[in-house]
């Protein structure tokens, strides 16, 4: 009778008997994760008292976990990017904590994933959230080769990758369509690193909008890989020479420099030049005139990404691609 009870003992039984969580019991057995010395000793003593061997418990658990998830931030983020990543991280952290997981942060360059490799090969995490995607992405390639659960915050063209993203392409298409309907048929575009997938999606939305209304896309008024202030100013000068109706910026960092250049040139917004941004950050919230832009919920993005990763870790099937919504905010900078 006693042997029968031992066989039926589960991690839930141990947790309930000691008044702790299943995660705490798992961490005590595995020796991994944060747990107090007294609690670990109490769990191990209970297990020994009931002749419940760790190997048997491991079978009941399916697999012992670290109860950590890795989050990889890009090293090349800008001051404008920072609020987005911070807010997204809040969503990830809130979700992780609610499921007794901790977060390990790492940073990486587009062409270097040394820190990510160290994190994975040292068995420090059960899964990873990648916070930026690239057209040629060595981080995705590495994680796929290791068969470790991971989710990207951002879209990718790699096959069989779980992605959570805002619908940048549709958002940018809608904003440009609205501007085209306002009879602004000569719309210049500045900014964005071409190797970033988000840049590709935003650029495609710009092209889609023109295709929908039958307005040819003029490559001479599109400037990508333009991030430094001097490059942005030169792009603005060329767009003014081309007599564009409106300058659309791929993010607010670029938009800030565009507005500064227009002020230097004494070009009034919106009377002489319309301006809009494909991303709405806090950096321009007090600008006069207010800037037409796209709004995305970064906190929701982090929450959904983390929940999706947890589902994968637990062995559940999830959607390959989840696209979240957006809001087009029309403000003074594009008024006729």
**80 pLDDT tier (thresholds 50, 70, 90):** low
Strand partners of residue 30: none
**79 pLDDT tier (thresholds 50, 70, 90):** low
Q: Is the pLDDT of residue 55 over 60?
A: no
- Work out the mean pLDDT of the chain and round it to a whole number: 88
Report the pLDDT value the prediction gives residue 31, as an integer from 0 to 100: 66
For 168-295+329-334, the fitting CATH number among 3.40.50.2300, 1.20.1050.10, 2.60.260.20, 3.30.420.10 is 3.40.50.2300
How do the domains of the chain map onto residue ranges? 2-61, 68-167+298-326, 168-295+329-334
Report the pLDDT value the prediction gives residue 52, as an integer from 0 to 100: 59
**81 pLDDT tier (thresholds 50, 70, 90):** low
Q: Give 166-216 pLDDT, tens digit per residue.
A: 999 999 999 999 999 999 999 999 988 899 999 999 999 999 999 999 999
**5 pLDDT tier (thresholds 50, 70, 90):** very low
Quote the CA–CA distance of 11 and 17 in Å, as a whole number: 10
Report the pLDDT value the prediction gives residue 6, as an integer from 0 to 100: 45
Least confident span in 58-67, 138-147, 173-182, 272-281: 58-67
Quote the CA–CA distance of 77 and 336 in Å, as a whole number: 34
2-61, what's its fold? 434 Repressor (Amino-terminal Domain) (1.10.260)
Q: What share of the chain is helix, strand, coil (3-state, %, to 5)?
A: 50, 15, 35
| Contact yes or no for 210/180 (Cβ under 8 A) | yes
68-167+298-326, what's its fold? Rossmann fold (3.40.50)
Residue tagged 């929940």 (tokens): 307
Q: Give 150-170 pLDDT, tens digit per residue.
A: 999 999 999 999 999 999 999
Strand partners of residue 112: 109
| Contact yes or no for 153/306 (Cβ under 8 A) | no
What sign has the CA pseudo-torsion 77, 80, 83, 88? negative
pTM: 0.77
**62 pLDDT tier (thresholds 50, 70, 90):** very low
Q: Do domains 68-167+298-326 and 168-295+329-334 have the same CATH topology?
A: yes
What is the percent of the chain with per-residue pLDDT over 70, rounded to a whole number? 90
Q: Residue length, the chain?
A: 336
Quote the CA–CA distance of 253 and 10 in Å, as a whole number: 54
- Give every CB contact of residue 103 below 8 A, 6+ residues apart in sequence: 68, 69, 70, 71, 89, 92, 93, 96
Q: Is the pLDDT of residue 294 over 60?
A: yes
């Amino acid at each position: 009778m006693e042997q029968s009870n031992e066989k039926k003992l589960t991690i839930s039984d141990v947790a309930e008997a000691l008044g702790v969580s299943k995660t705490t019991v798992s961490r005590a057995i595995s020796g991994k994760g944060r747990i107090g010395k007294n609690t670990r000793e109490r769990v191990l003593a209970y297990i020994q008292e009931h002749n419940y061997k760790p190997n048997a418990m491991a079978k009941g658990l399916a697999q012992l976990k670290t109860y950590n998830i890795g989050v990889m931030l890009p090293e090349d983020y800008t001051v404008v990017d920072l609020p987005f990543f911070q807010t997204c991280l809040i969503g990830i952290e809130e979700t992780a904590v609610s499921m007794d997981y901790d977060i390990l942060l790492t940073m990486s360059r587009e062409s270097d994933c040394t820190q990510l490799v160290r994190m994975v090969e040292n068995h420090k995490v059960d899964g990873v959230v990648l916070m930026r995607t690239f057209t040629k992405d060595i981080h995705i390639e590495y994680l796929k080769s290791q068969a470790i659960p991971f989710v990207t915050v951002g879209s990718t063209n790699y096959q069989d990758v779980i992605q959570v993203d805002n619908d940048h392409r549709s958002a940018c298409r809608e904003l440009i369509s609205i501007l085209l309907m306002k009879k602004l048929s000569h719309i210049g575009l500045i900014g964005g690193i071409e190797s970033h997938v988000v840049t590709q999606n935003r650029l495609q939305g710009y092209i889609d909008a023109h295709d929908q209304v039958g307005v040819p896309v003029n490559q001479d008024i599109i400037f990508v890989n333009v991030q430094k202030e001097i490059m942005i100013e030169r792009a603005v000068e060329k767009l003014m020479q081309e007599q564009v109706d409106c300058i659309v910026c791929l993010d607010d960092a670029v938009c800030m420099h565009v507005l500064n250049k227009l002020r230097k040139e004494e070009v009034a917004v919106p009377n002489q030049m319309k301006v809009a941004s494909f991303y709405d950050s806090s950096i321009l919230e007090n600008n006069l005139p207010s800037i037409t832009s796209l709004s995305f919920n970064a906190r929701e993005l982090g929450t959904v990404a983390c929940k999706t990763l947890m589902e994968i870790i637990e062995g559940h099937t999830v959607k390959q691609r989840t696209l979240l919504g957006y809001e087009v905010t029309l403000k003074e900078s594009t008024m006729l």
